[in-house]
Structure 1
């Protein structure tokens, strides 16, 4: 199933005008606050009637302004996960979940309740009330309630923004499972680069109400022309396989014929992972350095250099089919005489790759 979105709407400061498609998996609307992300989601949900546009999930048309078609929100067959869980405080977890199931059509497959409970790991929470749950537990219950409505699509508007870093790390694996184990489109709003790199199947980058780039997550995130959150939040996502675990607390990942050492990951050998590496954590050397503390030295090729408005330069680096980004000063780029096509070395400290920047790679569909 594919969600086709076209929305036009006048906002304070700019006009929103976007067109994109969201395939099965997680499509992330990525950009700064005020770029129009929540407006798009609310238009899809029916909480906002835009000035123009059309949205359809395969043969189910949610609205078509030109043809005066507007499906009421309760008939749109969608699940919505908000920033806060919005559970009914007077109901138990089981009752909150069954409330979602009440909206499912009679054709819902038998056994889906138990499957969703198992996928989200909330078996032990069913008798509790929301007041007795942590923030991460509440969000898992909210996801379960959305799934039990047997939706055509799921909307998630910054569902982790109210959680601290530890709780975000706890719940991200459940979104990875949701991405891999369901066949419906999930439209997900975020402005956290590591979050996007971990869970996104595809990315729609937004700036002032316009789509600046859309496509597979790795391609969009490593594009020098796209910086939805500014250069300080820029980086690239690579895929790797767990090769070994070491007694000193590090894990070795195999990627593109080379090795990347990172803080120990809790994944078996052979697991395919995604790794987000921030551009500010990558140094560039014209010869292989010796006698340094950084453990990762990758031979790479400069693909492109892009000057910023200040003293910085973004450098796009390739190794195999993967891309890295490095953020260095213009003075360094000039001193090293860096140019496209040049072979250099990317230097990355193992400790600069936090555990929450590493997650499961998507399963093949």
Structure 2
């Protein structure tokens, strides 16, 4: 452990320094117990719905282990000087399995790595990602996402009442969550009347926007974002091709906690979406190439791929919501960000 690490005051009590004693720090042990219950609840839901767990997923990946922001990839010096990465998502890998397993439903748990340049109340360099993929559309997917977060919260409420009380949280408030829905277009109009008159259609929603929406609505899904600000493989809406059949789960205090979407399954459309994406432009600038995606594109060309959809749930932000804290650094068992590593 380095002696010269500078920790933000809000996070100091939770940082994994040599002075931390896990057995005597009640809040730290409470966080660990809450996370245990949270994951048991999430797994309970997906297993009851016939999702098959995928284990030993890659933690060293090619560029297909990226998701929206390729600028935050951690680079690994691979054999013979070849460039590899720590994964942001295993989405593309488990997508393929939905087409092959009998249930058409899979899930996995990975560590997601983001080279975030800020060590603030929202960003971590490493966090747990709970990913699901299934044969089905966006509406069904949002039902599963609601089920995962509700089950995780319910398990914590059931098993960790004393631990929640340490954070000023009432277990009863987590026992029966509901989730509202609003389209991105409607959300922009609402926000314009709520102190954000400069917000325009096509802009990405930032933390202050998400915070105001959850103040008004509680836990909610914002759906059908503009295609230009989302990952290349999200499926365009049939009635309005400007938007994709996607959604972000917004939770009070935590903001965006899960990204989800239908995946484009037509091979020709998928290739075109990748070739014309801003993401590919950025990757080419970094020395990557279109052929890095050949295995993924070839699968769609060589197989009859059914409509499928999936999501990645950032469990640290779910924990932040469950614990009712404004600072994500106070909600993780081990804090890993630019300012702190063990």
TM-score, with length taken from structure 1: 0.27
Higher strand share: 1
Structure with the bigger percentage of helix: 2
The structure whose Rg is larger is: 1
